[in-house]
Amino acid sequence: MEEPIRRAHERGLGTAIMGPVGGGRLSLWNPEQVRDLMPASVTSTSDLAIRWVLANPTVSVALSGMNTMAMIEENVASASRPEPLTADELQAVETMMERLREFARLYCTGCGYCMPCPNGVDIPGNFLLMNFYRVYGIERFAKEQYAKLLNGEQARVHDQRITGKAAVACVQCGACEPKCPQNIAIIEQLQDVAATLGASAA
């Protein structure tokens, strides 16, 4: 994504980055796998996310949703730093991201373009739970929420409700995959979700 932003900047166009904190998901992140690489000056994962976006000199503005005064104050503090991240901190973040890529084989943005599934599977919702399990290391929570879907109940992550069916309900019709801008192998990934998150619910 950096390349299109850079090109826009070269042509004199401003760029606004939506959801720098991943719709709030990154604020829940518990980065066990990369804790040792987190820059010392970073106060939270939200702080890191916003500072990382603003450290890109070709970005014009970051648009972050805020629900409370505390969120506003934290974001203002993050955005007010004269230097969002130092060169060493940027390098540390790059190393963190490299390590995370080893965990995150699933880059679902939650855009929903693959929906609706004719069989009622909540595709981005299942992938969200899988990323909580695989990337954020919140394994028990992810399995508990997946079990709710299996029982026909709503799952909930932060302020997002997952109302459709569990991944195991996919009948592999293939309707969703051509619509995914991330070219995710949705069927294969849903099978992985069902096997991984469904294990404790059997």
In the structure encoding, which two tokens stand for residue 199, read together? 């294990």
Q: At its nearest, how many Å lie between ligand SF4 and the CB of residue 126?
A: 9
Task: For residue 146, give the nearest of 165, 118, 159 by alpha carbon.
Answer: 165
Phi, then psi, of 85 in degrees rounded to 5: -145, 140
Residue 15 makes contact with ligand SF4 by CB under 6 A: no
Size of the site for ligand SF4 (CB under 6 A): 28
Tell me: cis bond preceding 84? Omega within 30 of 0 counts.
no
Identity of the residue, 110 or 137, whose beta carbon is nearer to ligand SF4 in the bound complex: 110
Can you tell me which of 104, 175, 191, 201 binds ligand SF4, judged by CB under 6 A? 175
CB-CB contact of 132 with 157 (8 Å): yes
In the structure encoding, which two tokens stand for residue 135, read together? 């990337």
The region of 49-57, 71-79, 92-100, 117-125 touching ligand SF4 under the rule CB under 6 A is: 117-125
Q: At its nearest, how many Å lie between ligand SF4 and the CB of residue 100?
A: 18
Residue 184 makes contact with ligand SF4 by CB under 6 A: yes
**CA atoms in the 13 A half-sphere facing the CB of 69:** 0
Can you tell me which of 17, 37, 147, 187 binds ligand SF4, judged by CB under 6 A? 187
Can you tell me which of 34, 49, 123, 194 binds ligand SF4, judged by CB under 6 A? 123
Q: What is the DSSP letter of 34?
A: G
Can you tell me which of 30, 86, 91, 172 binds ligand SF4, judged by CB under 6 A? 172
Task: For residue 168, give the nearest of 150, 143, 186 by alpha carbon.
Answer: 150
Task: For residue 26, give the nearest of 58, 77, 64 by alpha carbon.
Answer: 64
Binding site for ligand SF4 (CB under 6 A): 108-114, 117-119, 121, 123-124, 127, 170-176, 179-180, 182, 184, 186-187, 190
